[in-house]
Amino acid sequence: MKKSDIVAQPLSMKIIRLLMNNELTVKEIKHHLTDVSQTSLYRHIKKMYDVGLLKITKEEIIKGIIKKTYTFAKENGVLTKEELNNLTKDEYEDLFMQFIAILISDFKDNLENNKNFKTELDFYQAPVYLSKKESQEMRADLEKIIKKYLNNKNTKERKLNILSLTFMPSNNKD
């Protein structure tokens, strides 16, 4: 199975989000993903590990069983530019639809479980006229800002915030 096929699965995105700045065992991941059987979770994590999305940070033997601790392999990224460039139009669309489905699911979950959603949940769309060079500069600037916070650890003062960005040139000819 290709890395892009695995990334496009909803379970992969949930696992990546959990392991982005954390090191967890399968049992700990299962605690967060109650709707997935442990057997399915083990199989899926193995697939993600095999394609380089996850790495093992610790192994310990407990009563003859190897307990592995996993984290997201940030150095490999979710998909490299080369992997994205090799996707077909349909594969790219599938990946984007998965992104949108997860965004909708997260949004609904926030509405249901966050009493402060009106002050903590933001979304907007901004039409911005940019040259190709300006677009590249803007992406680089945003990447620098985001990277500053990517390695923050989960603490009592910090809670997970999901930032979702889409850059899309308009087809309007104005």
Looking at the domain assignment, is residue 73 inside a domain?
yes
Tokens for 52? 């380089």
Which residues are within 8 A (CB) of 83 and not within 5 positions of it... i.e. 6 or more apart? Answer: 3, 4
Looking at the domain assignment, is residue 158 inside a domain?
no
Q: What percent of the chain has pLDDT over 70?
A: 98
Q: What is the pLDDT of residue 157?
A: 92
Give the DSSP H/E element, type plus range, for residue 65.
strand 65-72
Mean pLDDT of the chain: 87
Looking at the domain assignment, is residue 160 inside a domain?
no
Predicted TM-score of the model (pTM) = 0.67
CA distance 156 to 154: 7
Looking at the domain assignment, is residue 121 inside a domain?
yes
CATH number at residue 11: 1.10.10.10
Q: What is the pLDDT of residue 41?
A: 95
CA 119 to chain centre: 24
Q: What is the pLDDT of residue 94?
A: 83
Q: Is the pLDDT score of 144 beyond 90? A: yes
pLDDT digits (tens, 9 = 90+) for 38-67: 999 999 999 999 998 999 999 999 898 889
Looking at the domain assignment, is residue 137 inside a domain?
yes
Looking at the domain assignment, is residue 108 inside a domain?
no
The range of the structural domain enclosing residue 84 comes to 3-100+116-150
Amino acid, res. 149: Y
Highest mean pLDDT: which range of 46-50, 109-113, 153-157: 46-50
Please count the structural domains in the chain: 1
Q: What is the pLDDT of residue 6?
A: 87
* Long-range contacts at 52-55 (CB < 8 A, ≥ 24 apart): 52/3, 52/76, 53/3, 53/6, 53/7, 53/12, 53/16, 53/78, 54/15, 54/19
Average pLDDT score over residue span 94-114 = 84
**Confidence label for 168 from pLDDT (cuts 50, 70 and 90):** confident
CA distance 121 to 104: 13
CA 20 to chain centre: 7
b (16+ CB within 10 A) / e for 107-117: eeeeeeeeeee
